[in-house]
Structure 1
Amino acid sequence: MSAPADGAGRTRVRGWRWVVRTAFLVAALVACGLVIWRTREDFLAAVADVSAFPLVLAFLAVLVGGVVPMFAWRVLILDLGSPIPLAAGARIYFVAQLGKFIPGSVWSVLAQVELAREYRVPARRSATVGLLTIVTAAVSAVLVLGLALPFSTEELRRGYWWVVLLLPPLLVLLYPPVIRRWSALLFRLLRRPADDLDVSVRALAASVGWMVVAWVFYGLQLYALVADAAPDDVSAGPQVALQCLGIFALAWVAGLLFVVVPAGAGVREVIIVLGLASVLPSGAALAVALLSRVLLTVTDLLLAGLAVLAYRARRSRDAV
């Protein structure tokens, strides 16, 4: 009599998981839609003033910048012993990323934990990798900012030089023995079973390296828009390109610190406008910031959709 009961229990669990996943996806899509809807008028006005080639170039740069962080996440999950196929990893990562549009900073990580269950990835492992990916992204962003800040405006250097001081404590969080301790503490507080985690320094360095590549492409996206919007008397040379790289990294870190704001909405735009004050008039800088926001949002939706389609296509081929 226990077998049917166990089967019914598993069916109920699968049913609840389907409900949770569907609710997450609906909430994330609604949140993404709201981001686009609220800025639609300003976005359309900004698009009318930008040339086609820089806009396409910016979109391609965002696309590459959006893909690369998945490899930063995957190198960690593979290092901890979960051989998730590339197509499945893309589905887990890109769909979970839609959670960042929901207020709070935990939804993407929770979604990764839930989606990774299909591949028997322990909750502590996937949650720790999700958090580690955020830390490696922050470390790489601060590194990029530190290299680019000297080329930025005096106002930005005076106001945000202290962000570079975040690097030492962030690096401490990436020290493998410290990772084991904060991960164990987190799951002890959640009263969840834990397993031993031993992340290699090589995997952590690779994750940081992948994220540096992502920041470079994100900065190129911003630079493509800035170069097109710059007045004729402003030279948008290599110094402005480095400035854009640092501005975007700083804007991302600022958005991360404001955990109650979905995907750093509003916070990043303020930093971008402030950082571009030496290059663009305030109106043009705001238009660039809004264009960047919508391009990032559309790219997140596109990557999630393509990852799901690729995953289903591969499953269909394997089933034949």
Structure 2
Amino acid sequence: MTRGPIVTAIRVAVAVLTLGAVVYAVVTNWADVSVHLGQISAGTFLLSTLAALVGTWLTMLGWRVLLADLGSPLHLAPASGVYFVGMLGKYLPGSLWSVLVQADIASSLRVPRRRTAVAALLALGFSLLTGVAVGLPAASYLIRRQADGFDWWTLFALPVVVVLLVPRILNRLIGAALRLLRREPLEHDLSGRAVLSAVLLFGLVWATFGLHTLLLARAVAGPDVHPHLGVATMTGYALSVSLGMLTVILPAGLGAREGLLTLILATAIPLSAAGTVAIVSRFIVTIVDVACALFGWLYARRHHLLVDRRAEGLAPRA
């Protein structure tokens, strides 16, 4: 067996085992989980879903800003078609399938594949760095296992994140990465305006997803709300998803995100309630992803973005 199939088999096995562990934890604690599920009203569920939907759209806008600054501005509708269809690729083991799918679809709009791939990877990088910055207080909760403020030493990571987002340093890192991958350099560097816009947009992404989590957490917290519940939820989602991005062998961080979020929220609410929030959050986010992908697919299908133009003798520019 060659290396490729072995790595794929390992990724699938880890994903199955992780998902199995999550399912087992839910089943064994179902009595408590079912009680908390009943505490989430339809109104809370809908508001949480709306917050997740806004966060997902803001993510697309951040990617669109980066792609435009690299030289390929797209109107909102075609950008949605490209981004949301490719987004489902993150649910496959490896987490980079979305980059390949987006590059393939965008080529039908005369966007160079390399440029789309770089924009997608940059979007992931911005999301990761801003998520870590927002999630720093939750790191303290995760280590200390209690939500009573946060340790000052966690702020040491903040300057590192800020420095990496300085346009001059960021552009040098991008150039070094492309040289390492033996790829041609970008036509021009990212502008400071694009970097600032992307940082603000991805910051709003984490704020809306934090609100999405907070709505669920307050519903299951009971009458005595922990004073640090808001901080735990608003920062815990960002940290758990960001660290989940690093587990590339898991599809969309499946299992890792839920486990981390449960541990963080358990510092402010009961463990069973925290697990319920993590599970319902994953369900809502997945439904939103599928709905957005359906919208994107319908647009792409209607405008023939899914047709192989090379078969028509209209090969996109490299």
TM-score of the alignment, normalized to the shorter chain, above 0.5:
yes
Q: Identify the match of residue 211 of structure 1 among 202, 210, 214.
A: 202
Q: Tell me the equivalent position of 1:133.
A: 123
Q: Tell me the equivalent position of 1:109.
A: 99
AA matched with 1:88: P
Q: Tell me the equivalent position of 1:200.
A: 191
CA contact (8 A) 1:156 1:274 kept: no
By how many angstroms is 1:187 displaced?
Answer: 4.0
Q: Tell me the equivalent position of 1:24.
A: none
CA contact (8 A) 1:39 1:290 kept: no
Q: Aligned equivalents of 2:104 and 2:302: distance in 1?
A: 21
CA contact (8 A) 2:138 2:239 kept: no
Going from structure 1 to structure 2, the CA distance change for 1:111 and 1:156 (only over 3 Å counts) comes to farther
AA matched with 1:214: V
Runs of at least 5 residues in structure 1 that lack an aligned partner in the other structure: 1-30
Helix, strand or coil for the counterpart of 2:126?
A: helix
Mean alpha-carbon deviation: is it higher for 174-183 or for 144-153? 144-153
Going from structure 1 to structure 2, the CA distance change for 1:221 and 1:268 (only over 3 Å counts) comes to same
Q: Aligned equivalents of 2:191 and 2:234: distance in 1?
A: 29
Q: If the length of structure 1 is used for normalisation, what is the TM-score?
A: 0.75
Going from structure 1 to structure 2, the CA distance change for 1:161 and 1:155 (only over 3 Å counts) comes to farther
Give CA-to-partner distance per residue, 1:216-245, whole Å, 9 cap, x none: 11111111111111122x2266x4223211
By how many angstroms is 1:47 displaced?
Answer: 4.2
Q: Identify the match of residue 227 of structure 1 among 209, 218, 223.
A: 218
Helix, strand or coil for the counterpart of 1:244?
A: helix
CA contact (8 A) 1:96 1:112 kept: yes
Q: Aligned equivalents of 2:183 and 2:80: distance in 1?
A: 27
Give CA-to-partner distance per residue, 1:175-195, whole Å, 9 cap, x none: 444444444444445444444
Give CA-to-partner distance per residue, 1:196-226, whole Å, 9 cap, x none: 3311011111111111111111111111111
Q: Aligned equivalents of 2:145 and 2:196: distance in 1?
A: 32
1:281 aligns with 2:270: yes
Going from structure 1 to structure 2, the CA distance change for 1:184 and 1:292 (only over 3 Å counts) comes to same
Percentage of pairs with the same residue: 35
1:306 aligns with 2:306: no
Going from structure 1 to structure 2, the CA distance change for 1:171 and 1:259 (only over 3 Å counts) comes to farther
By how many angstroms is 1:311 displaced?
Answer: 4.5
Q: Specify which structure has the higher proportion of helix.
A: 1
Give the paired residue count: 281
Q: Tell me the equivalent position of 1:261.
A: 250
AA matched with 2:218: A
Q: Tell me the equivalent position of 1:70.
A: 60
CA contact (8 A) 1:80 1:199 kept: yes
Higher RCO, 1 or 2 (CA under 8 Å, sep at least 6)?
2
Going from structure 1 to structure 2, the CA distance change for 1:275 and 1:206 (only over 3 Å counts) comes to same
Going from structure 1 to structure 2, the CA distance change for 1:168 and 1:135 (only over 3 Å counts) comes to farther
Q: If the length of structure 2 is used for normalisation, what is the TM-score?
A: 0.76
By how many angstroms is 1:114 displaced?
Answer: 1.8
